[in-house]
Amino acid sequence: MGFLRTAPLALGLLSACRSTDQRPTAPPGDAPPPTVEVPAVSPSAMAPTPDAAAPVAQPPTPQALFDSAQWKRFKTVWRQLDAYETSDSPDISITPRTALPHDKARALRDELESLGAPMRALTAEPAALDVLLRVADSRIDSLSGLRFRLMVSHRAPMESEMLVADMVLDLEKRIDALLLLRKQGKLDDKSTTAALASIREEIELMGLLQTFGPRMFFPVRMRDYHSIAELQAAVTARVDSAVADGGKSEELVAFKTQVDKAADTIAKARPWLLALLADLER
Between 251 and 93, the higher pLDDT residue:
251
The pLDDT of residue 9: 33
Q: Cα separation of 168 and 245, whole Å?
A: 38
User: Distance of CA 229 to CAs 104, 196, 208, 233, Å?
Assistant: 36, 18, 11, 6
Cβ contact 68:48 at 8 Å: no
Closest CA to 282 of 170, 192, 183: 192
Q: What does the pLDDT look like over 222-232, one tens digit per residue?
A: 878 878 998 89
Q: What does the pLDDT look like over 187-200, one tens digit per residue?
A: 888 888 888 888 99
Mean pLDDT, range 145-156, rounded to an integer: 64
Between 16 and 201, the higher pLDDT residue:
201
Does the pTM surpass 0.85? The reply is no
Q: What does the pLDDT look like over 2-56, one tens digit per residue?
A: 333 333 333 333 333 333 334 444 444 454 444 333 344 444 444 566 555 555 5
**Mean pLDDT of all residues in the chain?**
75
The pLDDT of residue 153: 62
The pLDDT of residue 149: 64
The pLDDT of residue 169: 83
Give the three-class secondary structure for 49.
coil
Q: What does the pLDDT look like over 130-147, one tens digit per residue?
A: 999 999 998 988 888 766
The pLDDT of residue 249: 75
HEC letters along 100-151? CCHHHHHHHHHHHHHHHHHHHCCCCCHHHHHHHHHHHHHHHHHHCCHHHHHH
Q: Give helix then strand counts, H and E, for the chain.
A: 10, 2
The pLDDT of residue 5: 36
Between 17 and 234, the higher pLDDT residue:
234
Residue type, 42: S
Per-state percent for the chain, helix, strand, coil, to nearest 5: 60, 0, 40
| pLDDT-derived band at 266, boundaries 50, 70, 90 | very high
Give the three-class secondary structure for 18.
strand
DSSP states of 166-223: HHHHHHHHHHHHHHHHHHTT---HHHHHHHHHHHHHHHHHHHHHTTS-TTPPPSS-GG
